[in-house]
């Protein structure tokens, strides 16, 4: 057995750009004017590696506005190796804190869909906060310990399983893992990993891909688990080729990847790709997200507050597992309420903007196949309806077009110091602007500010 933390590295930090392709130059400019220098990662056009960090990257304007996500470069590899095509539906079984979930959402695009599951309540809250900040609206989140009662067997063509593990590959940053998860203490983890692999095998469609990954160097959690899965379930190994720029070390199981942390410049990581023999069945596998029926099934129906229907899940008027479960809802149509004029609901992709009480969520079309299963899920919070008017979530930048487009009034800033003042709680003199208007860095949408008395203020409150 490998010794825990045998080799490790704390190389330059990596991050992922989380924006439209056309916005990349502006996001990179926002980083550069604050002194950050970076270079492309060779395995994905979304990823960058820092060359200069004048202050913590997490305190940068780009990070604060959710335009980048800081992520270990090894942790970026599972979505790259799973490689879901545009418009695919993907299941991420152990999703928090959301780095891999978010990357998958970018890979499948606005027409695709990701279901991110995280059974631990605190970690589920973290997942939802991160996805909200990043404006990844094509994700729904849930918190089930066992997904099998809610999802169709053989229903997903793409599954990512990154289960709880001993984390020995992170020892350079988290040395406590070496005492917390000694070799004689990992039995509960091994049992959980086997259970999750069995669930993943049952949910995987024939011909689909299951990517199993861990951030440990422990063969018992890596190669041994894969061998057992191959012996126990109708699965076959799909040989992986290390992505460009990946330093892999020898392994006892050909076709899997063990990331060498000392040479790779990231955490120790393990990746294996499995498939279920056969061709996908049209009767079993979920359709691609873009062709799925809308939430609720069938044609979109006009609903009022008096009509009953399935929304975020079961129950009525209370929170369960962190998810809003009101059953009375209305579809919100652009222009229906004051405050929706000029907002780009069409930029959200396939799905519905649905009202649950006074809260409005975007529910991606990809949830359609399991809305009647009782699964409690949550979409993306768009804003509130108050006093008959829509008030957008301050972070819902996808609702904004480019600065000055469509004649919409907005606050455009070119000095990063002004943005810093807003984030610090200081108001800016702006003259006459609508009460709720778009905030931009040059032409880059950042979110919404509140204007009153000729001054603008940034507030996270919708």
What is the CATH number for 123?
3.40.50.150
Q: Examine the domain organization and report whether 169 and 314 are in the same domain.
A: no
Note the pLDDT tens digit of each residue in 34-60.
999 999 999 999 999 999 999 999 999
pLDDT band at 404 (very low <50, low <70, confident <90, very high): low
pTM greater than 0.85: yes
Is there a single domain that holds both residue 388 and residue 424? Answer: no
pLDDT for position 305: 34
Confidence at residue 264, expressed as pLDDT on a 0 to 100 scale:
81
In this prediction, what percent of the chain has a pLDDT beyond 90? 70
CATH number of the domain within which 418 lies: 2.30.130
Q: What pLDDT score was predicted for residue 261?
A: 87
**CB neighbourhood size of 22 (10 A):** 10
Cis peptide before 33 (omega within 30 of 0): no
The residue among 371, 395, 419 that closes a domain is: 395
What is residue 403's predicted lDDT score, i.e. its pLDDT? 66
- pLDDT for the residue 286: 61
Q: Are residues 382 and 271 in the same domain?
A: no
- Catalytic entry in 81, 215, 437, 451: 215
Task: Please report the pLDDT score of residue 317 as a whole number.
Answer: 35
Same domain membership, residue 163 and residue 18? yes
pLDDT for 308 beyond 60:
no
Whether residue 354 lies in the annotated active site: no
- Would you say residue 283 lies in a domain? no
- pLDDT tens-digit profile of 90-128? 999 999 999 999 999 999 999 999 999 999 999 999 999
Where does the pLDDT of residue 339 fall: very low under 50, low under 70, confident under 90, or very high at 90 and above? confident
259 and 309 assigned to the same domain:
no
Pick from 9, 54, 2: nearest CA to 173: 9
Where a domain ends, among 395, 410, 437?
395
- Reduce the DSSP state of residue 168 to 3 states and report it: helix
Read off φ and ψ for residue 412, nearest 5 degrees.
-105, 125
What is the spatial distance between Cα 165 and Cα 27, in angstroms, rounded to a whole number? 34
Going by their DSSP bridges, the two strands 139-142 and 248-249 should be labelled as unpaired
**Better-predicted residue by pLDDT, 9 or 440:** 440
Predicted local confidence at residue 24, as pLDDT: 98
Average pLDDT over residues 179-186: 70
- Do 111 and 260 have their domain in common? yes
Least confident of 42-46, 244-248, 259-263, 395-399: 259-263
8 in any annotated domain: no
Beta strands in 137-252 (DSSP E): 139-142, 156-161, 204-214, 236-238, 248-249
Q: How much is the pLDDT for 3? A: 41
Owner of token pair 């709880």: 164
pLDDT higher than threshold 90 for residue 214: yes
260 and 248 in contact (C-beta within 8 Å)? yes
Which residues touch 123 (CB under 8 Å, ≥6 apart)?
A: 96, 97
Show Cβ contacts of residue 236 under 8 Å, excluding neighbours closer than 6 positions: 230, 274, 275, 276, 277
Higher pLDDT, 442 or 287: 442
C-alpha span between 172 and 6 (Å, rounded): 10
Is 319 annotated to bind a ligand? Reply is no
Name the residue with tokens 């999802």: 151
Asked if residue 312 and residue 267 are part of one domain, the reply reads no
Per-residue pLDDT at 462:
64
172 pLDDT band (50/70/90 cuts)? confident
pLDDT tens per residue, range 264-274: 888 999 999 99
pLDDT category at 301 given cuts 50, 70, 90 is: very low
Predicted confidence at residue 6, as pLDDT, reads 42
- pLDDT higher than 70, residue 138: yes
Q: Report the DSSP pairing between strands 204-214 and 156-161.
A: parallel
> In this predicted structure, what is the pLDDT of residue 406?
59
Confidence check: pLDDT of 292 > 70: no
Please name the residue ranges forming H helices in 15-119.
24-33, 61-64, 77-82, 99-108
260 labelled binding-site residue: no
Q: Cβ atoms within 10 A of the Cβ of 33, count?
A: 13
Mapping DSSP to helix (H, G, I), strand (E, B) and coil, where does residue 410 land? Answer: strand
6 vs 338: which has the higher pLDDT = 338
| 146 among annotated binding-site residues | yes
Task: Please check whether residue 295 is in contact with residue 371, taking contact to mean a CB–CB distance below 8 angstroms.
Answer: yes
**Residues 383 and 443 both lie in one domain:** no
3-class DSSP assignment, residue 301:
coil
In this structure, the answer to whether residues 162 and 139 fall within a common structural domain is yes
**Interatomic CA distance for residues 231 and 316, integer angstroms:** 45
What is the pLDDT averaged over residues 332-339? 77
The answer to whether residues 312 and 377 touch, using CB atoms and an 8 Å cutoff, is yes
Q: Is 105 left (phi over 0), alpha (psi -120 to 50) or beta?
A: alpha
What string of H, E and C letters represents the secondary structure of 229-263?
HHHHCCCEEECCCCCCCCCEECCCCCCCEEECHHH
In a domain, 4, yes or no: no
Q: pLDDT band at 394, cuts 50/70/90? A: very high
What total number of domains does the chain contain? 3
Task: Tell which wins on pLDDT, 168 or 285.
Answer: 168
Which residues have C-beta within 8 Å of that of residue 71, sequence separation ≥ 6? 14, 15, 16, 99, 103
Residue 227's φ and ψ, nearest 5 degrees, are -60, -45
300: in domain? yes
Per-residue DSSP letter, 120: S
Residue at a domain's end among 395, 421, 449:
395
Q: Is the pLDDT of residue 178 over 80?
A: no
- pLDDT tens digits for 373-393? 899 999 999 999 988 889 999
Q: What is the average pLDDT value for the chain, to the nearest integer?
A: 86
Phi–psi pair at 140, nearest 5 degrees = -115, 145
Which tokens in the block code for residue 270? 């393990």
Quote the Cα angle for 195-199-201, to 5°: 115
With respect to residue 9, please indicate whether it lies within any of the assigned structural domains.
Answer: no
- Two tokens, residue 420: 């810093």
Question: Residue 267's domain spans which residues?
Answer: 14-275
| Mean pLDDT of the region 338-345 | 87
User: Which range among 152-161, 333-342, 383-392, 435-444 shows the weakest confidence by mean pLDDT?
Assistant: 333-342
pLDDT at 399: 95
């Amino acid at each position: 057995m490998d010794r825990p933390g045998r080799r490790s590295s704390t190389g330059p930090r990596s991050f992922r750009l989380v924006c439209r392709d056309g916005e990349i130059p502006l996001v990179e400019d926002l980083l550069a004017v604050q002194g950050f220098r970076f270079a492309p990662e060779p395995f994905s056009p979304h990823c960058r590696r820092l060359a200069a960090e004048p202050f913590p990257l997490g305190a940068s304007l780009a990070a604060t506005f959710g335009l980048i996500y800081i992520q270990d470069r090894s942790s970026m590899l599972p979505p790259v190796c799973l490689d879901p095509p545009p418009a695919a539906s993907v299941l991420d079984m152990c999703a928090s804190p959301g780095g891999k979930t978010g990357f998958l959402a970018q890979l499948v695009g606005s027409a695709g869909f990701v279901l991110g599951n995280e059974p631990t309540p605190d970690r589920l809250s973290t997942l939802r906060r991160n996805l909200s900040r990043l404006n990844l609206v094509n994700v729904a989140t849930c918190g089930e310990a066992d997904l099998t009662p809610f999802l169709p067997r053989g229903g997903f063509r793409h599954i990512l399983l990154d289960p709880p593990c001993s984390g020995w590959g992170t020892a350079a940053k988290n040395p406590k893992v070496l005492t917390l998860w000694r070799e004689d203490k990992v039995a509960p983890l091994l049992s959980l990993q086997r259970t999750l692999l069995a669930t993943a095998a049952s949910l995987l469609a024939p011909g689909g891909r299951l990517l199993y990954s861990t951030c440990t160097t422990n063969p018992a959690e890596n190669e041994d688990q894969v061998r057992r899965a191959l012996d126990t379930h109708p699965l076959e190994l799909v040989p992986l080729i290390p992505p460009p720029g990946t330093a892999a070390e020898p392994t006892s199981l050909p076709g899997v990847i063990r990331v060498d942390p000392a040479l790779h410049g990231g955490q120790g990581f393990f990746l294996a790709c499995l498939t279920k023999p056969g061709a996908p069945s049209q009767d079993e596998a979920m359709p691609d997200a873009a062709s799925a029926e809308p939430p609720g099934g069938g044609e979109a129906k006009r609903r009022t507050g008096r009509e009953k229907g399935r929304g975020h899940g079961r129950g009525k008027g209370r929170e369960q597992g962190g998810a809003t479960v009101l059953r009375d809802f209305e579809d919100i149509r652009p222009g229906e309420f004051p405050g929706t004029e000029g907002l780009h609901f069409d930029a959200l992709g396939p799905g519905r903007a649905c009202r649950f009480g006074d809260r409005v969520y975007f529910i991606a079309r990809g949830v359609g196949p399991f809305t009647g299963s009782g699964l409690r899920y949550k979409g993306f919070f768009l804003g509130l309806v108050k006093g008959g008017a829509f008030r957008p979530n301050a972070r819902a930048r996808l609702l904004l077009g480019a600065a000055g487009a469509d004649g919409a009034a907005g606050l455009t800033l070119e000095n990063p110091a002004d943005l810093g003042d807003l984030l610090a709680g200081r108001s800016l003199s702006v003259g006459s602007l609508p009460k709720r208007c778009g905030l931009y860095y040059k032409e880059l949408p950042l979110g919404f500010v509140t204007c009153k008395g000729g001054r603008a203020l940034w507030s996270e409150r919708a």
